[in-house]
Amino acid sequence: MLSAAEPERKFTDMFSPLSVPAEIIHDSAIVVSLICLAIFLVVVFMLCYVIFKFPSKGPEDDKKEPPQIYGSSQIELAWTVIPILITVVLILVTVRTIIDIQDREMPEDTVHVRIIGHQFWWEIHYLKPDGVDANGKTKWVTDFVTANELHIPVSSRENPRPTALQLESADVIHSYWVPQLNGKTDLIPNHTNRMWLEPLATGTYYGNCAEYCGTQHANMLIRVMVQTQEEFDKWAANQRKKPVDSTDPIAVAGHEVFYKYSCVSCHRIDGSPEPLAIFGPDLTHFASRRWLGSGVALNNTENLLSWMRDPHVLKPGVLMPNMQLSETEVEQVTAFLQTLK
């Protein structure tokens, strides 16, 4: 599944950005850090100077107050004006970064994605334009749905190919953070936040939910697969397809179990009756995903069997209940899920 051209970027290091907005943030962070370092060094130097220049002259001397100086307008002016100037420089650097990132014009062929945070996974809708609304703004509707693993095309400086993310939450506050791709942005209930990614190298990038959201916050992992345009188009075309019904008798039995135990109340498989609500990840192309439980374990037979027996073994505190399936049913549902390529 992983080719040499598609390295795993497990190193979540914000000091080695590989995306345009992450680079912009990185550069301004370096400027701000250098200014703070200069202030720190000046303060430490002055402190050391005073300590060594005016040592104690004995216990008697320590009891007296040192001479007090009042009313030096030069000193007062200096310690008022210099910090103001430093603050103005810091404000300018920050504002420029914010404007650079928030007001970026997105090109025509930008990939638009809506991500909805849930305890403890990510619902991902790829969007497509659907005419314009009354205000002349493009209306976006869902093209296809997936979960947890965000696939996006790689960009380049000559030919920018950004992905615009629309971030929402179904329950509590989460935060989307892939350090090498952008700063963190919160997903807030009843409020849409936005961010964009413009990755300059292919690979699988690792990230985390960055806002405490409950027992499995630490296992609300993020995986961003940055692919070549060709690979991305191929992946997207497959995600748009309806799953093909398998004829394997074990998988067919698993499909029945899936409905019998109302797995379908929480998980949607396109073509299945509409669920009451999306509580759990869309499983239409479940077998095409590399991980289970939002990055908690690799999506292989062994882990999937374990998940079917009791999801709390791999992810304690996950909101999916133990469905109390028999061992035969566990194997049948596993076989069924593995047909959902």
Q: Specify the amino acid at residue 90.
A: L
Distance of CA 40 to the CA centre of its chain: 33
Q: How many residues are listed for the chain in this entry?
A: 341
Q: Specify the amino acid at residue 238.
A: N
216 versus 227: smaller Cβ distance to ligand CUA: 216
- Residues with Cβ within 8 Å of 157's Cβ and at least 6 positions away in sequence, in order, are 200
Residue with tokens 């709390």: 312
Residue 326 CB coordination number (10 Å): 10
176 versus 235: smaller Cβ distance to ligand CUA: 176
Residue with tokens 């009313």: 71
21 versus 117: smaller Cβ distance to ligand CUA: 117
Q: How far is the CB of 166 from ligand CUA (least distance, A)?
A: 17
What does residue 19 show for φ and ψ, rounded to 5 degrees?
Answer: -150, 145
214 versus 275: smaller Cβ distance to ligand CUA: 214
* Gap between the Cα atoms of 286 and 147, Å rounded: 9
HSE, CB side, 13 Å, CA atoms: give it for residue 44: 6
Q: How far is the CB of 314 from ligand CUA (least distance, A)?
A: 17
211 versus 331: smaller Cβ distance to ligand CUA: 211
**109 contacts 152 by C-beta, under 8 angstroms:** no
Binding site for ligand CUA (CB under 6 A): 117, 120, 174, 209, 211-213, 217, 220
Q: How far is the CB of 217 from ligand CUA (least distance, A)?
A: 3
Q: Which runs of consecutive H residues, i.e. helices, occur in 20-72?
A: 20-53, 59-63
The b-or-e profile of 20-35 (16+ CB within 10 A means b, else e) is bbbebbbebbeeeeee
Q: How far is the CB of 182 from ligand CUA (least distance, A)?
A: 17
Cα radius of gyration rounded to whole Å, the chain: 27
Q: How far is the CB of 94 from ligand CUA (least distance, A)?
A: 26
112 versus 174: smaller Cβ distance to ligand CUA: 174
97 versus 216: smaller Cβ distance to ligand CUA: 216
Query: Terminal CA-to-CA distance of the chain, rounded, Å?
Result: 14
Q: How far is the CB of 152 from ligand CUA (least distance, A)?
A: 20
Q: Which runs of consecutive H residues, i.e. helices, occur in 152-248?
A: 229-240
Residue 279 CB coordination number (10 Å): 15
Q: How far is the CB of 175 from ligand CUA (least distance, A)?
A: 7
212 versus 259: smaller Cβ distance to ligand CUA: 212
29 versus 172: smaller Cβ distance to ligand CUA: 172
**Range list of β-strands (E), 198-339:** 203-209, 221-227, 291-292, 297-298
Q: How far is the CB of 216 from ligand CUA (least distance, A)?
A: 8
Q: How far is the CB of 26 from ligand CUA (least distance, A)?
A: 24
